[in-house]
């Protein structure tokens, strides 16, 4: 897809999210760091695919909420994909749990590499039936973005974020994250390879954007919590899965 630099910043929430982070991961080690992308080409579904989804655990009320939010990605005029939620089997591509730490998902079709049907490919560690609707929507849209092949927007090949590297390292190497330097480098600073991606200009309103405190940049730039699909998110996913 061609680069698109139109501004879409009207829905930026200025409150940072300092303790709830998402990991997007490729089960195959040799893909990590190489096929990362706004949309990872090797992890892309085929347009028209039926993607089966099941829950390994969880309260019935929150499972229903997750279903309804996830389907926003495949609403009419967006991704030409079908999310097929199954109650009768865990023999599905995407398997969701609420039992593990953190919020995370495999990326796109790499979920097929997790062949143990008792193992989750997506997790919502802090969502409960009492989670506010806005937060639940933000987290579910973000993780299902990964499940459709999208990676974190702050690593878009277009760049544009003037990182204060030392402040980022200082914050993420301490509680509550306690990330080692290689994890910080991989998850924060390593850009996606442009020749292995389909991408737009960096979209600071994207649901796939990490919150960025002003102290993490050299010029005070910041991004808060994005709770909805941005205009570029919708345009991009429609073009990728038309």
**1-31 confidence digits (pLDDT tens):** 323 333 333 333 333 444 455 655 556 533 3
Residue 96: strand pairing partners: 55, 122
Q: Which of 38-42, 43-47, 183-187, 204-208 has the lowest mean pLDDT?
A: 38-42
230 pLDDT higher than 60 = yes
Half-sphere exposure of 92 (CA within 13 A, CB side): 22
Please check whether residue 91 is in contact with residue 12, taking contact to mean a CB–CB distance below 8 angstroms: no
Give SS3 for 111.
helix
For residue 36, what are the contacts with CB-CB under 8 A and spacing of at least 6?
Answer: 151, 155, 190, 192, 193, 196, 197
| H-type alpha helices, the chain | 60-70, 133-147, 165-173, 181-184, 231-240
Round to whole Å and give the CA distance between 61 and 72.
18
- What is the predicted pLDDT for the residue at 40? 72
**What tokens were used for 135?**
């937060």
Q: pTM (2 decimals)?
A: 0.81
Radius of gyration of the chain (CA): 17
Q: State phi, psi for 73 to the nearest 5 degrees.
A: -65, -25
Mean pLDDT of 197-222: 82
Tell me what pLDDT residue 189 has: 84
The better pLDDT of the pair 25, 242 is held by 242
For residue 101, what are the CA distances in angstroms to 21, 22, 97, 119, 123? 10, 10, 10, 14, 8
pLDDT digits (tens, 9 = 90+) for 98-150: 999 888 999 999 999 999 999 999 999 989 999 999 999 999 999 999 999 99
Instruction: Give the confidence band of 200 by pLDDT, cuts at 50, 70, 90.
Output: low
User: Rounded to whole angstroms, how far apart are CA atoms 34 and 59?
Assistant: 37
- Assigned token pair, 129: 């039936």
Instruction: Characterize the bridge pairing of strands 197-198 and 103-106.
Output: unpaired
State yes or no: pLDDT of 77 exceeds 60. Answer: yes
> Average pLDDT of the chain?
82
**Residue 198: strand pairing partners:** 39
Query: Which of 9-13, 22-26, 51-55, 209-213 has the lowest average pLDDT?
Result: 9-13
72 — pLDDT class (breaks 50, 70, 90): very high
CA nearest to 153, candidates 200, 117, 88, 112: 200
Do the beta carbons of residue 120 and residue 173 sit within 8 Å? no
For residues 109 and 43, what is the distance between their CA atoms, to the nearest angstrom?
Answer: 5
Q: How long is the chain?
A: 242
Whether pLDDT at 85 is above 60: yes
Greatest mean pLDDT range, 13-17, 57-61, 185-189: 57-61
**pLDDT over 50 (residue 64):** yes
Tell me which long-range contacts 32-36 makes (C-beta under 8 A, separation of at least 24). 32/186, 33/186, 33/190, 34/193, 34/196, 35/193, 35/196, 36/151, 36/155, 36/190, 36/192, 36/193, 36/196, 36/197
Pairwise pLDDT comparison (152 vs 157), residue with the higher score: 152
- pLDDT at position 69: 98
């Amino acid at each position: 897809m061609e680069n698109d630099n139109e501004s879409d910043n009207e829905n930026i929430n200025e409150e940072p999210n300092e303790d709830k982070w998402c990991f997007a991961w490729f089960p195959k080690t040799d893909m990590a760091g190489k096929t990362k992308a706004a949309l990872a080409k090797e992890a892309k579904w085929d347009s028209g695919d039926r993607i089966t989804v099941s829950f390994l655990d969880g309260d019935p009320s929150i499972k229903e909420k997750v279903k309804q939010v996830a389907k926003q990605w495949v609403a009419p005029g967006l991704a030409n994909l079908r999310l097929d939620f199954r109650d009768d089997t865990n023999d599905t591509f995407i398997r969701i749990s609420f039992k593990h730490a953190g919020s995370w998902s495999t990326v796109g079709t790499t979920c097929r590499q997790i062949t143990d049907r008792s193992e989750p490919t997506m997790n919502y560690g802090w969502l409960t039936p009492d989670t506010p609707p806005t937060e639940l929507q933000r987290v579910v849209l973000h993780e299902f973005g990964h499940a459709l092949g999208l990676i974190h927007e702050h690593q878009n090949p277009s760049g544009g974020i003037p990182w204060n590297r030392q402040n980022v390292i200082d914050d993420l190497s301490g509680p509550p994250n306690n990330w080692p330097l290689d994890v910080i480098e991989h998850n924060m600073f390593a850009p996606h390879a442009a020749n292995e991606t389909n991408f737009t200009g960096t979209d600071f309103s994207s649901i796939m954007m990490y919150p960025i405190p002003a102290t993490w940049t050299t010029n005070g730039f910041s991004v808060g919590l994005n709770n909805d699909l941005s205009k570029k998110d919708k345009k991009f996913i429609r073009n990728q899965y038309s």
